[in-house]
Chain A
Amino acid sequence: MNETVQVLPLSFDLSALLRQSVATFYSHLVTRPTGQALRLGIESQIGECDRPVLSILDFTQVVVLDYSCADETVAKLLLRYQNSGRTTAAYFLARGVGERHREPIEAVLHRHGLALGALLDDGERTLLGQASPLEAAAWTVVDRLGRATPDDVAAATGMDAAEAATALDSLARRGLLFAPGDDGGFYPLSSLLRGP
């Protein structure tokens, strides 16, 4: 990986952040104002960083997540950074995503045409939300190999190299993979958590 590019990992325990941001004893991620407060808290911390940030949205302690709160916390957060029309300064991964979280997260991501890499609570890694079959296949190969070029993806999936390159570029543009330099390689966001 190109070592001149450094990404700062930030972890947001959403349940703990809820208590900080909303200043109440609420224990569940429900309602739009709660989601807005969480998102503003996350955006504020990202805004204080002077280099690209990998934000971990940790759902481990979240018991109830409703659609309205998921729309404000997850979808609108990604909309701001994934659709900014430039190389993203913020990457996002979800962690601790259980069955109870998955449905609202998937629903709001699909609603806005977004996707989000996730570390599920059973240890599996997956791409949530909206991605083309080629993007989903390419993301899975990169995640499994830890680093992959278009040729690697083409070899692993059977798609041609041009299709693989298009899919990988799209994933990188959407902030779902990391393409740090000119070595032609694409990296899963989870690799950033392991550090240099």
Chain B
Amino acid sequence: MKVVPIPASLEERTFEQVVQALAADDRPLLDARRLRWVDPFGMLGLLAVGEVAAARGARPLLNLPDSPEVNSYLGRMGFFERAAPLFELHGEARRGEESVSDVLLEITPIHSHGDVHSIVDRVNERAIAILTRQLGYPIREAAQFSVVLSEVCQNIVEHAQSNGWVAAQTYNWARRLGRKVAVIAVMDLGVGFQGSLAGPHAQRYGARWGDAAALEAAFLHGLTRFHDPGRGQGLQQVRRTVARWGGRIAIRSGTARIADVPDWDDAPPLEENLAPFPGAQIAIVLPARVAETAPAPAGATRRESRP
């Protein structure tokens, strides 16, 4: 049994610690008892780790968070429903509250284009309301949220050759950014960008071909495995929209991550030699509108909270 400690704050960056610890072949026990904060990327990451570990053999164990607030939040996001088939759960799993939820988009599986339709049908009005009221987006901009969501979810159906999940929520990044953000996470455990693009493009890249080259090809140049020139523009348009909104989009696939990094973030645009993890993991952060963009306080440390 390999104990994998889940960081107190689980999001895109700290997810790497979990992936690194997962490298061993032993049956993992994911110890999330000290988890105090988790975003959609962290939640989907836990599910993905669970599925990867389960595929290796024995069903992994998950110690649920001690924090009632975190447990309640996980319940509202639909985490336990998705985790139950993957993990042997230990601890008290709290059901989501029946009252009107503050959740932007609960954890939702994606198997088909029909799921993408269902997601857009379900989230469009809610997203417009949340983005206009909480993040200060004009309605015409907020209406594009569903388009962003649709395109990144279709990425799974069109390219991953696998199932996946999506989730989204708003948070108050008080110290890191001084304003609220919407976070979207989309994950699959499919063939990854390298696997999807290898057939038509690997030979052209020669020895350079790998996860980073595949991400560059798709992310920067809009290449896909299809010969149709209309393909590949969805991701490019999502990048433009996120950039226009001052947001961040990052895609991790295999052993690399590529990102459009806004000036409020200090992450590198391309990272290589990460711990290997199958499929593709997309993170999008959309910050609230401000009249005049103010820099984050010097020396700020992150302390995000849900609204």
Interface residues of A (CB under 8 A from B): 24, 26-28, 30-34, 63-68, 71-72, 75-76, 99-100, 103-104, 107-108, 111-112
Q: Which residues of A contact B233 (CB under 8 A)?
A: 67, 71, 107-108, 111
A85 CA / B294 CA spacing, docked (Å): 55
Min CB–CB distance A81 → chain B (angstroms): 16
Q: A68 contacts B124, CB within 8 Å?
A: no
Residue B146, interface by CB 8 Å: yes
Q: B230 contacts A108, CB within 8 Å?
A: yes
Q: Which residues of B contact A31 (CB under 8 A)?
A: 113, 116-117, 150, 154, 157
Chosen A-B contacts, 30 in total, with CB atoms closer than 8 Å, are A24-B117, A26-B121, A28-B117, A28-B121, A30-B117, A30-B146, A30-B147, A31-B116, A31-B150, A31-B154, A32-B113, A32-B158, A34-B117, A63-B124, A64-B120, A64-B124, A64-B147, A67-B147, A68-B150, A71-B233, A99-B140, A99-B143, A100-B140, A100-B143, A100-B144, A104-B147, A104-B237, A107-B233, A111-B229, A112-B229
Residue B151, interface by CB 8 Å: yes
Beyond the given A28-B124, A66-B151, A72-B230, please list 17 additional residue pairs across the A-B interface where CB-CB is below 8 A: A24-B117, A28-B117, A30-B117, A30-B146, A31-B113, A33-B113, A63-B143, A64-B150, A66-B147, A66-B234, A67-B233, A71-B230, A99-B140, A103-B144, A111-B229, A111-B230, A112-B230
Interface residues of B (CB under 8 A from A): 113-114, 116-117, 120-121, 124, 140, 143-144, 146-147, 150-151, 154, 157-158, 229-230, 233-234, 237
Chain B: CB-nearest residue to A65: B147
Q: A66 contacts B150, CB within 8 Å?
A: yes
Instruction: With a 10 A CB-CB cut-off, give which of B113, B117, B151, B229 has the most chain A CB atoms.
Output: B117
Q: Which residues of B contact A28 (CB under 8 A)?
A: 117, 120-121, 124, 146
Those 10 A-B pairs whose CB atoms lie nearest each other, nearest first = A71-B230, A31-B113, A30-B150, A66-B150, A99-B140, A26-B117, A66-B147, A100-B143, A64-B146, A67-B234
Min CB–CB distance B84 → chain A (angstroms): 29
Chain B: CB-nearest residue to A110: B233
Q: A107 contacts B117, CB within 8 Å?
A: no
Chain B: CB-nearest residue to A28: B120
Q: Which residues of A contact B116 (CB under 8 A)?
A: 30-31
Q: Which residues of A contact B154 (CB under 8 A)?
A: 30-32, 66, 68
Q: Which of A24, A26, A30, A76 contacts B230 (CB 8 A)?
A: A76
